[in-house]
Amino acid sequence: MTRGFESLQPALAYLPAEEIAVIEEAFEFSRRAHEGQFRKSGEPYISHPLAVAGILAAWHLDAQTLCAALLHDVVEDTPATASEIEARFGKAVALLVEGVSKLDKLAFASEQHAQAENFRKMLLAMAQDVRVILVKLADRLHNMHTMGSMPPDKRKRIAKETLEIYAPIANRLGLHSVYQELEDLGFRYLHPTRYQVLAKAVKAARGNRRELVDKVKIALQDKLEQCKIEATISGREKHLYSIYRKMQEKNLAFSEVFDIYGFRVVVRDQPSCYLALGALHALYKPIPGKFKDYIAIPKANGYQSLHSILFGPNGTPIEVQIRTVDMNRLAESGVASHWMYKSAEAALNDVQTRTHRWLQSLLDIQADHGDSPEFLEHIKVDLFPDEVYVFTPKGKIMALPRGATAVDFAFAVHTDVGHRCIAVKINYELMPLRTQLRNGDHVEILTASNASPNAAWLNFVVTGKARSHIRTYLRNARVEEAAALGERLLGNAIAALNPAATEPDPAVWDRVVKDYGLQTREELLAGIGLGRKLPLVVAHQLLHVQGEKSGEPAHPHAIVIRGTEGIAVELAQCCHPIPGDPILGFIHKDRGLIIHTHDCPSIRAFRTDPDKWLDVEWQAEPGHMFDVSIKVVVGNKRGVLAKVAAAIAEHGSNIGNVSMEEEDGSPYTVLFFTVQVENRMHLARVMRGLRALPDVVRIFRIKGRKDGRAAPSQ
């Protein structure tokens, strides 16, 4: 039997009675909406939103968030609408639900596109209200806990997404316990065998090491008491995925990972952190290079603590983390502490500021990218804050991902600095821009006003911001250069068609640009410069529209076609025009100029619309082979296909494709050939040669589909 609202009530004791009543109303709304729906495990569906609300209640989130948690799947999975939720529970709750809901009702090119678009939507909602991601993380946490009933392939896909996106987000938001739990659950379902082996090894080692842990804990406590430092000490076991990652990164066997246990020392205030550190370094010698001061230089998510690895009893390495009560609270709850504890406002505001800054950087990246998978690729880089801390010339500390280069630093300072950088001084020495930065480096970027990003930078930058801005700049620069080239090509084409023509006025340009389905003149010119549009075709249209407006129709020459122009000119596949055929050119806004024979069945509907077609003619000697389709009816005899193929080859033509109709028991067979000829005269010679064969009954050229009926419009 499903637990009802009464199971959630004890966790809501921190809220006033009137808010609890609203949450109960949301529960009833959700229960009725999901009535008759069941999870894969067989439980009624309402058990899931109830559990998500329970997780968020444990973080002491506000009533609006808890209502959104109870309603988060209603719009997605039931007939209830967002407007109903807004009418009953207010706009804020409706926006939270909308932010968490997926984009399942839209069609995406691939699963990767769907994942990227879902994340993009959630990111935009997060920027408005960070509670969106808190609901999503609680939702994902409960789904991971109850994923045993899912098919194995779906389990692995969700586990991979959890490790790549949701666990790192929890880490960036400072939700340390959620981060560790999501990592362990993701590890469990992505690599079930490795998880079981490692869990068994940790369990076996636990008994052997308990004595060591107790011994160290007592020694630490005694030393701090001698130094009159008040502290609470706890021993903790590293979570499984952390151990697994360490084994993978350092190529270690489990028996070689000693610091599976760490010790957390929580003291009264910040000066006591450093006093405790000195006392513990006097007790156990620190391992050189293994000390990190995250109090002076906090992590990007606001995390503060002193970390030191010491030589413990018998030379066993032990990790010690020293922090204040407030730091410990923030380390566990991160940005959620804003709702849990209203007291330490200064520290919390700092965390919120950092979170907002990070979200803003993600928004900057997404604004530059229409390509969803590329956007997701940049985001994944920024989600893993294994950081280095460097100094600007003015002494400001900047955090960058490990492996970041001087160019990443330049873009982190300001986009304009990134665009104009030409060299870097690291620790007052000139170094290459591709140099990877290390902790404590003093970095000074040298710029020049005429400098611009280099495509080679994409080979070594690691931050999403740098990669995004470089790609955007290069794309825009390419378009600008193409537009300048397109303008020159178009000018030449207009002069060739009508030397006396004047510059088309803005209204003429607007009409032609609109006909192509574009927004600006620059887009059309760039299309010409990039070879996507034929300058003669655009010139012809401009002169035609100009003539219409002036009342003096222009009579430009017909456009000469070679048949080898590439992507700007396409020979229609329905009628396969060849030199010698009377032809017409039809303008297609996406595909350029499409050439049809004048009697092609596909274009009958357009023949009466002069705006759709252009006069075109073949170049005198194209010197090129063209595809054409023919239909040959032959007697159903052994070896007839070989005879027909030999006759085609004998007359200097290649066979591009051959097929035949299924036999129906009649004495005749229909063969379809795509042959390559130089022109219409060459085709006539081939067809005469085939007619001379005694087994050939009928032969004709196909214009339209194989069966001779009209093809669909091109």
Does 256 lie in the same domain as 145?
Answer: no
Residue that is written with structure tokens 């619309």 in the block: 609
Q: Is the pLDDT of residue 566 over 60?
A: no
366 occurs within a structural domain? no
Nearest 5 degrees, angle CA 33-CA 38-CA 44? 75
3-state secondary structure of 419: helix
Residue of 19, 43, 62, 77 marked active site: 77
Q: What is the pLDDT of residues 633-660, one digit of tens each?
A: 998 888 888 999 999 999 889 888 898 8
Say if CB 98 and CB 122 are below 8 A apart: no
Confidence of residue 373 (pLDDT cuts 50, 70, 90): low
CATH number of the domain enclosing 683 = 3.30.70.260
Does 153 lie in the same domain as 96?
Answer: yes
Q: What is the pLDDT of residues 38-93, one digit of tens each?
A: 888 788 888 899 999 998 888 888 889 899 999 988 888 888 888 888 888 898 88
Does 248 lie in the same domain as 103?
Answer: no
The mean pLDDT of 339-367, rounded to a whole number, is 53
Joined together, the tokens standing for residue 404 give 């970041």
Q: Of 530, 557, 584, which residue sits at a domain end?
A: 557
Greatest mean pLDDT among 149-158, 295-304, 486-495, 645-654 = 645-654
Does 216 lie in the same domain as 185?
Answer: no
678 occurs within a structural domain? yes
Q: Is the pLDDT of residue 348 over 50?
A: no
Q: What is the pLDDT of residues 399-429, one digit of tens each?
A: 788 789 999 999 989 889 999 999 999 998 9
Confidence of residue 177 (pLDDT cuts 50, 70, 90): confident
546 vs 279, residue with greater confidence: 279
Confidence of residue 289 (pLDDT cuts 50, 70, 90): confident
pLDDT given for residue 370 in this prediction: 47
pLDDT given for residue 292 in this prediction: 86
364 occurs within a structural domain? no
The mean pLDDT of 533-543, rounded to a whole number, is 76
Say if CB 463 and CB 362 are below 8 A apart: no
Does 215 lie in the same domain as 144?
Answer: no
The mean pLDDT of 278-304, rounded to a whole number, is 84
Q: Of 529, 557, 585, which residue sits at a domain end?
A: 557
Q: How far apart are CA 401 and CA 379, in angstroms?
A: 12
3-state secondary structure of 362: helix
Question: CA 268, 274, 279, 281 torsion: positive or negative?
Answer: positive
Does 217 lie in the same domain as 126?
Answer: no
Q: Is the pLDDT of residue 447 over 80?
A: yes
pLDDT given for residue 690 in this prediction: 92
Q: Is the pLDDT of residue 712 over 60?
A: no
82 occurs within a structural domain? yes
The mean pLDDT of 305-334, rounded to a whole number, is 82
pTM above 0.75, yes or no: no
Confidence of residue 620 (pLDDT cuts 50, 70, 90): low
Domain count within the chain: 4
414 occurs within a structural domain? no
Q: Compute the mean pLDDT over every residue in the chain, rounded to the nearest whole number.
A: 79
Does 97 lie in the same domain as 67?
Answer: yes
Task: Label each residue of 582-626 as H, E or C.
Answer: CEEEEEECCCEEEEEECCCHHHHHHCCCHHHEEEEEECCCCCCCE
Q: How far apart are CA 29 and CA 90, in angstroms?
A: 14
217 occurs within a structural domain? yes
263: β partners: 235, 320
Does 640 lie in the same domain as 550?
Answer: no
Confidence of residue 281 (pLDDT cuts 50, 70, 90): very high
Where in the sequence is the domain holding 262, given as residue range(s)? 199-341
Residue that is written with structure tokens 């404590």 in the block: 440
Does 233 lie in the same domain as 152?
Answer: no
Joined together, the tokens standing for residue 561 give 């076609």
Residue of 76, 364, 522, 661 marked active site: 76
Does 211 lie in the same domain as 120?
Answer: no
Does 205 lie in the same domain as 176?
Answer: no
Instruction: Please give the single-letter amino acid code of residue 208.
Output: N
Query: If residue 446 lies in a helix (H) or strand (E), which one and from where to where?
Result: strand 443-447
Least confident stretch, 9-23, 126-140, 200-214, 609-623: 609-623
pLDDT given for residue 514 in this prediction: 81
Least confident stretch, 19-33, 186-200, 478-492: 478-492
Active site residue 76: yes
pLDDT given for residue 340 in this prediction: 44
Confidence of residue 610 (pLDDT cuts 50, 70, 90): low
Does 325 lie in the same domain as 281?
Answer: yes
Confidence of residue 146 (pLDDT cuts 50, 70, 90): confident
The mean pLDDT of 509-520, rounded to a whole number, is 80
543 vs 112, residue with greater confidence: 543
Q: Is the pLDDT of residue 517 over 90?
A: no
Residue that is written with structure tokens 């079930």 in the block: 192
Q: How far apart are CA 520 and CA 461, in angstroms?
A: 33
Q: Is the pLDDT of residue 589 over 70?
A: no
Active site residue 678: no
Least confident stretch, 111-120, 156-165, 441-450, 573-582: 111-120
